């Protein structure tokens, strides 16, 4: 019965994980189906290929954030 709600009204997505500032993973509250944003910003079903891509992107993103913080902590950094 959970899948009928999604077929009639659409998925009720909630944010499950932030990968980068623009790439995120979502999960449907009703049917537990997982989605992610692709390279064009569209929602697509989370496949093993996209899981691997997201893991690599998250690793690169976290390394860049750490590198940016280690430059000089006394400098003012403006972020949007």
Residue at 48 is within a domain: yes
Domain for residue 77, yes or no?
no
pTM: 0.77
Task: Specify if 80 maps to a domain.
Answer: no
Residue 36, exposed/middle/buried by CB under 10 A (0-12, 13-18, 19+)?
Answer: buried
**Collapsing DSSP states into helix, strand and coil, what is residue 7?**
helix
Domain annotation covers residue 39: yes
Rg of the Cα atoms in the chain: 17
Q: For tokens 């997505």, what's the residue?
A: 13
What local confidence, expressed as pLDDT, does residue 80 receive? 65
Cα atoms in the 13 Å half-sphere on the side-chain side of 1 = 0
Position 34 in a domain: yes
Kindly report, residue by residue over 28-71, the tens digit of the pLDDT: 998 999 999 988 989 999 999 999 999 999 999 999 888 777 66
Q: Specify the pLDDT at position 3.
A: 79
Please report the pLDDT score of residue 1 as a whole number: 63
Q: Which domain holds residue 23?
A: 2-70
Number of structural domains the chain divides into = 1
**Cα 10-13-17 angle, rounded to 5 deg:** 155
Asked, for residue 24, whether it belongs to a domain, the answer is yes
Region 16-28: what's the mean pLDDT? 94
């Amino acid at each position: 019965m959970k899948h009928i709600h999604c077929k009639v009204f659409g998925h009720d997505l909630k944010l499950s994980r932030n990968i980068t500032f623009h790439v995120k993973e979502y999960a449907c509250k009703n049917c537990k189906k997982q989605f992610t944003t692709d390279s064009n910003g569209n929602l697509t079903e989370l496949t093993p290929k996209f899981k691997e891509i997201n893991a690599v992107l998250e690793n690169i993103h976290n390394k860049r954030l750490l590198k940016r913080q280690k430059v000089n902590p006394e400098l003012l950094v403006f972020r949007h």
